[in-house]
């Protein structure tokens, strides 16, 4: 069940955290995985080595998703070299936390460019090979914050909420080509992104999570594998919540 043998996948932000876990999980299921990074080339290579040592196939590919031309070129190259691109996970994301009154224009722009514009450009480039193949899986990593809000994350929450609109729209546009498009909204997950939060804030999050723990990147990766699989072929335009019950 949930095998991806023969499939080619691209995971943006696959160098660390949730993206690394998704890359490892898709590769373990049999996919060849292109592991994208922006700055962390060494970390991306480490993800690839972990995949290779488990008997899988992976390649690191550097581009900044905010650079839409570079993103398009990288996607086109993978599709041309491999003759296909079956699964694309738009996972790269940044959070610049600041209360509304202190939020700088530049920080709004940065989060919009990476989390939203980058994700749309990635999907725009990826849809072509998927349409041609009459098979594709686009998965956006959004956030519980886009559904419930969170103090200090106005711009971040805006980008993550917007991704849900993006998911539902692209799902409707390409369903006739057998391309499914879904979003995952993770809750509080243990990665570099949440590592710097004060202990008290982490404790509050765990208390607010009915399952009583912080999520692991692997919790999110399992959802991505399901959505990428043949078995999820009748699931599109959906939001899969992996949040321990934090928002229901
Ligand atoms: P993380 O540990 O901070 O890792 C972020 C990843 O995104 C890194 O691989 C990073 O690559 C990549 N990245 C950042 N900017 C990029 C850019 N411009 N172009 C290409 N790649 C870029 O974050 P994470 O916690 O794993 O988060 C992954 C996704 O899940 C994000 O979209 C985040 O918003 C979402 N999410 C996280 C949580 C959570 O609690 N952790 C909850 C809900 C949603 P480099 O190292 O090369 O820069």
Q: Give per-residue pLDDT as tens, 231-244.
A: 999 999 999 999 99
176 alpha carbon to ligand 1 midpoint, in Å?
Answer: 31
Confidence of residue 195 (pLDDT cuts 50, 70, 90): very high
Pocket test for ligand 1, best of 10, 14, 17 (most atoms within 8 A of CB): 17
Interacting residues of 9 by C-beta distance below 8 A, sequence separation 6+: 23, 26, 31, 32, 33, 34, 85, 86, 87, 88, 89, 228
pLDDT of residue 119: 99
pLDDT in tens, 1-15: 999 999 999 999 999
Average pLDDT, the chain: 98
CA of 147 to the centre of ligand 1 (A): 18
Residue 49 beta carbon below 6 angstroms from any ligand 1 atom: no
| Gap from CA of 195 to ligand 1 centroid (Å) | 12
Q: Of 8, 37, 114, which is closest to residue 68 (Cα–Cα)?
A: 114
Strand pairing report for 179-186 and 57-62: unpaired
* CA 215/CA 241 separation, integer angstroms: 12
pLDDT band at residue 115 using 50, 70 and 90 as cut-offs: very high
Average of pLDDT values for 130-159? 98
How far apart are alpha carbons 184 and 84 in whole angstroms? 24
Q: Is 107 in the pocket of ligand 1 (CB under 6 A)?
A: no
Alpha carbon of 237 to ligand 1 centroid (Å) = 22
Average pLDDT rounded to a whole number, residues 120-146? 98
pLDDT at position 202, please? 92
pLDDT in tens, 51-98: 999 999 999 999 999 999 999 999 999 999 999 999 999 999 999 999
Secondary structure (3-state) at 111: helix
pLDDT at 199: 92
Active site residue 156: yes
Mutating to test ligand 1, I would choose from 12, 13, 242 the residue with most ligand atoms within 8 A of its C-beta, which is 13
The answer to whether the CB of 193 is under 6 A from ligand 1 is yes
User: In the chain, pLDDT over 70 holds for what percent of residues?
Assistant: 100
Residue of 74, 193, 247 with the most ligand 1 atoms within 8 Å of its CB, for mutation: 193
DSSP string over 9-51: EEETT-SSHHHHHHHHHHHHTT-EEEEEESS-HHHHHHHHHHH
């Amino acid at each position: 069940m949930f095998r991806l043998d023969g499939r080619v996948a691209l995971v943006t932000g696959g160098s660390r955290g949730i993206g690394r876990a998704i890359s490892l999980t898709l590769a373990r299921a049999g996919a060849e995985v292109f592991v994208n990074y922006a700055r962390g080339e060494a970390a991306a290579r480490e993800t690839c080595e972990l995949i290779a040592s488990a008997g899988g196939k992976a390649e690191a590919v550097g581009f900044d998703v905010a650079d839409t031309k570079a993103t398009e070129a990288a996607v086109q190259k993978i599709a041309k070299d491999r003759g296909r691109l079956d699964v694309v996970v738009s996972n790269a994301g940044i959070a610049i936390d600041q209360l509304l009154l202190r939020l700088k224009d530049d920080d709004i722009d940065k989060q919009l460019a990476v989390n939203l514009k980058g994700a749309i450009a990635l999907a725009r480039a990826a849809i072509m090979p998927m349409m041609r193949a009459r098979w594709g899986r686009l998965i956006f990593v959004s956030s519980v914050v886009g559904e419930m809000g969170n103090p200090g994350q106005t711009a971040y929450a805006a980008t993550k909420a917007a991704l849900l609109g993006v998911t539902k729209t692209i799902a409707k546009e390409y369903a006739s080509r057998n391309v499914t498009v879904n979003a995952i909204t993770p809750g509080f997950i243990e990665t570099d992104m949440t590592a710097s939060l004060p202990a008290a804030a982490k404790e509050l999050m765990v208390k607010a999570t009915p399952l009583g723990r912080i999520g692991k990147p692997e919790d999110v990766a399992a959802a991505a594998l399901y959505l990428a699989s043949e078995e999820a072929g009748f699931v599109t335009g959906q939001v899969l919540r992996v949040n321990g019950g934090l928002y229901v």
